[in-house]
Every structure is written in structure tokens, then in C-alpha cells.
Chain A
């Protein structure tokens, strides 16, 4: 695959998290009711046995190559860089994956674990619908039953993705409780799992949830950063000065950050959704504006009120609209290894249009947050600096949202 030999001192890392109980410092863990513990133990033991199994690794790599289309290329966005007027911007093209986003990497891995465990039924939660579509896709590919939980508000906002999932043979269940969005879909999927645990595997879409999910999803997504580590030297003879990725739950960011953690000269920058501005309170920036708590099986930064109730989030991009964040990001923030910033709706939309017009690439609104921050940052850097942005998904799904914001109706 053109993989280069890496210097030994950066391959061997002192970073060895999570611990045996799934903790990243004070974050992560297994905060679930006793009824789920046995299922999580079974999953942890199975995954521990599979993750270094050569046959499992080989099958995973085969699927990524032949079904997803990996490795995804890195593209030097010259006209976009010229527009910013400083550092060179490189795009890791996860938008070119089958199903149009990075989500598929993780779903293939988990579906293979499910198959190994003999579970004929998979369930998933979805917000924008990307993870639901990826799960429905793999379920069709492997001949598994698939149920996707989706907040009823999101079902209305993402009608095209709901139809895609149905085309692929999945059952989409609208969730009517709580705020009727992603977090409630996750609650409902957990309830399904605890009820049907004998024949059901729960495919979580991000690096959150109880142990071992944050670790397992990170491992499957880290193919993104592993590729970048040999692709960047091929292009510029060195690693980038910074890696930039949007953060909702944080799976595309963890996937590209993780292999770079041992490289002290590579800045890691996560971009959260500032929605209508951090000051407005209408945002999804749990790391920038939240505080630690316990939700969905792990301890992490959360958007919550003074009584510890989880509050509703806002972002133009449904995929970033989540009140928590993966626990490993919480740890990377506290230790200072990664930096976290926020980009508001208007800035993300401007970056969306800019990339369309300068490079002929329509990015997902989620990824547009990362591009917006790269544009800001590049302007103050020399022309030989290099920024690597994870273009985590394509923007076809966002046509309606962007058209609406521009006052256009189909």
C-alpha cells in the first residue's frame, strides 16, 4: 500500500489508554444499569480477543479496501489555500468512502464483531442519518436484521436518509420521548438492547457510550490517521503542522487524531459547533462550554443545566447536534494534547460555499466546521505550513438545509 517505515520513537507510544475498566483519566468508564453489564462484558472479551487476531484484521482490511474504497486520498486544496492566503490546506477525503462519510469504517468493524458473536440482529441510533445509513448498508451486505432509532424531529428533518435506510431493508423507528433527537434515539436503542440482548448487537456510531465502545470505535476509525501518517510524507515529505477535525461525538476526529498523539509537533485541533454563538446558549460545544458529568454510559463533558439535566443542543449540522462528547476527547482536552475550538453556523456555511466554489467539492456541514477553522488558522501562518483537515463526509445530504438557509425551495 505504499506504507512507509515510521521512525521507531513515534511508533512506540507511552499513551496507553483506556485502562482495563475503560477510563481515560477521570473520563469514560461503564456507567450503566446492572442489566447491561453482562452484555458489555461479553462484548469487551470478544473484542479483546478479535482485535489482534490476524484473520479478523485481514478481513477488516479487505472490506475497507474493496467495499469502502480505501485508502481515501489526501487532496491538496490549492485554490482554497490561496483564498486563505497562508498555510497550505490538505483534505483527507473521507467523503469519497462508500455511503459518503467516515461512519462506514466503524460500522464494518462492529458488524464483523456482531457476526463473530452470532448475533443476527443489529440496532443503531442516528441523528442526521449517516450512521443509520451506514448500518443499514452493512446489514444488507451481511444479511442481518436492522433497526435504526431516530428522534421523530430528525425523521422529519432528514426524510431522504430515512428513505435510504428503508431502501436498504432497515426498519426506522421514530423516537417520541425527551427532545426527540439523537440523544433520545441513543436512550431508546439502549432500551432495545437491554431487552433483546441475546440476539442483538448494538452498533454505536461514535466514540461515546460505555466501555468498550469509545475504544473500539476509535480503533476502527484510526485507519483514517494511519493512512495520513504515510500519505502526508509522500506529498510533502513530512507530517502536517496541525490536524483539524470537527467534533460532535468525536469519531472522525478521534480516528485522525489517535495515530498522531505520539507526534508532539503535530497540533490536534477539534472543532465543535458553536451554533448561533457560544454566548447564545444555542450550540453543541460540550468541550468548549460544558462541564463533566455522566451520560450514556460514560463520564465526559456535557451540556447540562445547573440541576444536571441534559439540555437541548443546536447546530445547523445535525451530525454535531449532541450534548456529550467521547471521553477520550475530554481527556485530550484536560491534558492539553488536543485543543478544542468552536465555529458557528454562519462561519460553517461560508466555508461550505467556499469549498464548493474553489475546489468543486461539496462538503458535509459537519466537515465544513473544520474547514472554516482551517481557513481562519491558515491566514496567520506561512505559506509552507501544512494543515490537514478531515473532510469527514460529503454534503449531498445537506442540500435541503443549505438551500433553505439561502432562501431557496426545491
Chain B
């Protein structure tokens, strides 16, 4: 069964917000992925989004594209990413892991084979960027039948009708894309986010995480004030890019730890 809802409920009862870091599996090397996941947890991650590399990441900005390209140079496959989660689970049985990626690697493996392997490895949910609700009814059924969550994106442009459609087949949490554009871009329209999130939460009945554009402690803290969870991706990948094999884990831990602290201090202040 998915660990996502119990994790988010526990945080809510403590009055804390979830921190959800994203890394691309296999970047810079598959052997780095499990150590990075453990370091993210040590730095305060509540859920990990693990990116599955794809040759044509249409919704991603340059930073995550580069991470995908680095992983694909080493031929990292969906099966290997799932195996990494199984490896992570040998010592961590509590932190939820969501696989995030594109439809084609899943369809190439076969939806049933994917769901069975992911469930067996201890994956908790799947977020398929190019599966909007109208194209993923069967996929969502298969994933949820295995006890895992199907996480959907919502955008500032999503209509009430679409929000309702997502509420009907989504589970776990909603990933609200806080700006127009691709991952890693531009500035967040905070008042707009603050206005939309309560409406979405009420319509969907799920916690709402916000991502796309979180750069530092200040932006994370601002979002944590209005959302249930904060997702941070491109900034972590930049840290991985700019570090060497000796200091990568320490630098990622310091970065995420700082963001965790900034988020938690906001809660104390509130």
C-alpha cells in the first residue's frame, strides 16, 4: 500500500508542510541514485520524486533535460530505476517514492508489468507527465488496483471541469504547477497560487503540492505558507551538476537541509 497518504496526514496533524525533492534516476550515474535518495531523507525530505529519464522530455526545462541526457548516455532504463527503489527500500521502509516521467517508457515495458514491478519494489505512486486524465483512465485503474497512487498535474489554466476530472481518478496528492512554462523556469505568481490552492484542495479532496520555480529557502517558505507540500527539482539537479564525486552528497544535503529549515521556521513564525 502507498505510504503517501499516511505520511501527509501525519505531517498535517503536526502542523508541518511536506518537502518533496526531485532527482533524475541515473544522474550522474545509477550508482549515485540510492545514496542521493538517502541523503535527501537525511536532509528532511518527506516524499521523493524520482525522475525516469526519457529521450524527449517535452515539459522539462534545460536543467532536467540535461539530467535525462546524462542518464540516457548510460542507458538507464525504467526497469533499472525500479530496481533502485527496491535497493533504497532495503534500509528505508517509510519514505514514499513517486516515479515521475513520460508515458512511452511505461508503455514500452507494458502497463501491467510496470505496475507489478513498481509495487513489488516499494514504489508508492506514479506521475506521468503526458498522461492527462482523459488519456489515462485505464492506467489509473491499474495503478490504484495495486495499492499505489496516481498523481496528476494541475495548472493555473486548468478549468473547474478538469479539476473535477482529476479529483475523480487522482490520489495521493495533486502537483500544482505554479507557473506557465517548463520545469525550472521563471517567477512564481504567489498571490495567484494562494488563491487557487484552497479551491483545488476543496474540489479534489487531496493535499496540494506546488512546484515549478522553487529556487531557495525563501521561495519554499512562501509556498509552504499556502500549500501542503513544496516540490523542488531543477535547483537540486544544478547542485548535482556543479559538484564533483567527492562533495555531491554533502552539497545536496546542505542545500535541501537549508530549505527544510526555512520552511520549518515559517511554521514556527506562523
Contacts and interface: CB of A to CB of B under 8 A. Distances in A.
Contacts of B157: 35, 37-39, 197
A178 interface: yes
B56 A308 contact: no
Contacts of B185: 195
Contacts of B158: 34, 37-38
14 contacts: A30-B134, A33-B58, A34-B162, A35-B177, A37-B157, A38-B157, A191-B58, A191-B182, A194-B59, A295-B104, A308-B78, A308-B106, A309-B105, A310-B104
A385 interface: no
Interface of A, helix, strand, loop or mixed by DSSP: mixed
B59 A35 contact: yes
Contacts of A306: 108
Interface residues of A, number: 36
Given A32-B132, A309-B72, A309-B104, 17 more contacts: A21-B134, A33-B132, A34-B162, A38-B157, A39-B157, A191-B59, A292-B107, A294-B102, A294-B104, A294-B130, A295-B104, A302-B104, A304-B104, A307-B78, A308-B104, A309-B55, A311-B55
Nearest to A195: B181
A293 interface: yes
Interface residues on B, range: 35 or more
Nearest to A183: B56
B109 interface: yes
B61 to A, nearest CB: 7
Closest 3 CB pairs of A and B: A308-B108, A38-B157, A308-B105
B69 A294 contact: no
A34 B106 contact: no
Interface in B55-91: 55-59, 61-62, 65-66, 69, 72, 75, 77-79
A310 B159 CA distance: 32
B153 A293 contact: no
A308 B180 contact: no
A29 interface: yes
Given A195-B185, A307-B78, A307-B105, A34 B154 contact: yes
Interface in A170-206: 177-178, 183-184, 187, 190-191, 194-195, 197
B260 to A, nearest CB: 28
Interface in B139-159: 152-155, 157-159
A33 B155 CA distance: 9
